Amino acid sequence: MAPETPSRRFSGKRLIVASHNPGKVREIGALIEPYGITPVSAGELGLAEPEETGLTFIANAELKAHAAAEASGEPTLADDSGLAVDALGGDPGIYSARWAGPAKDFALAMRKVNDGLKAAGADAPASRGAHFVCALSLAWPDGHVESFEGKVFGTLVWPPRGDQGFGYDPIFQANGQDITFGEMASEAKHAMSHRADAFAQLMVAVFTK
C-alpha cells in the first residue's frame, strides 16, 4: 500500500479569505487570528465571486479557494456552508445562501424553511432536526488544495431568536443547548459550530502554530 500523502503545512502570516460575507469573514478571522495570521477578505481585494457550480459543499469551497488563490497569487481559505433540514430532504443545503435571494435576506430564507416545515407537518421538535455543514478548503496558487468538512446537529425553532451570528443562526438550536446560535456569544458558538469542527481538522493537518 502506498503511504498516505502528507498534508501541506501553512506557516504564513497573511491568509486570503475567499468571501464577501462580513459575518463569515469575522468568524474565520476569529479562528485564525490566534495563530498570528491576518485575514484579508476577497472583498477587500476586489476579487470577483465565482459562480458556485459544485454539487457538494467541498466542491464549492474548492472552486472558490482556487479562484481567489489564482487571482491573488496567495494561499486562500474558502468556506462553503449551509443548513440541511431533515424534513426537507436536506434542503436548502448547498443552496442555503440562494434561498436568501439577491438581497441576502435571511429573514426571508428562515421563513421559507419554516413554511416548508409546516407544509411537511413537521411541528414537533423531534421532526424539526437539522444540521449545519461547513467545508473549508485551503488552496495555494500552484493548485494544491486541502479540504475538510465539519457538522453540528440540532433542532430548528420558530420564531427566530437572537441577533448574534448571521444567516440561519437565529432558528438553529444545537443539541444539548437551550438557546439558539443567534442568542449565543461568539466565543461559545466558535467552540461547537460546524465551522469550528472543520477548522479543528484543518488546524491539525495544515497550520503550524
Distance (Å, whole) CA 198 – CA 49: 22
Using DSSP, state whether 172 is helix, strand or coil: strand
Distance (Å, whole) CA 79 – CA 208: 20
Judge whether 164 and 189 are in contact, CB under 8 Å: yes
Distance (Å, whole) CA 152 – CA 165: 15
Q: Residue length, the chain? A: 209
Given 79, 80, 169, 197, the catalytic residue? 80
Q: Residue 42 — left, alpha, or beta (φ > 0 → left; ψ -120 to 50 → alpha)?
A: alpha
40: number of Cβ within 10 Å: 17
Find cell 495544515 and name the residue.
206
79 counts as catalytic: no
Catalytic positions are 80
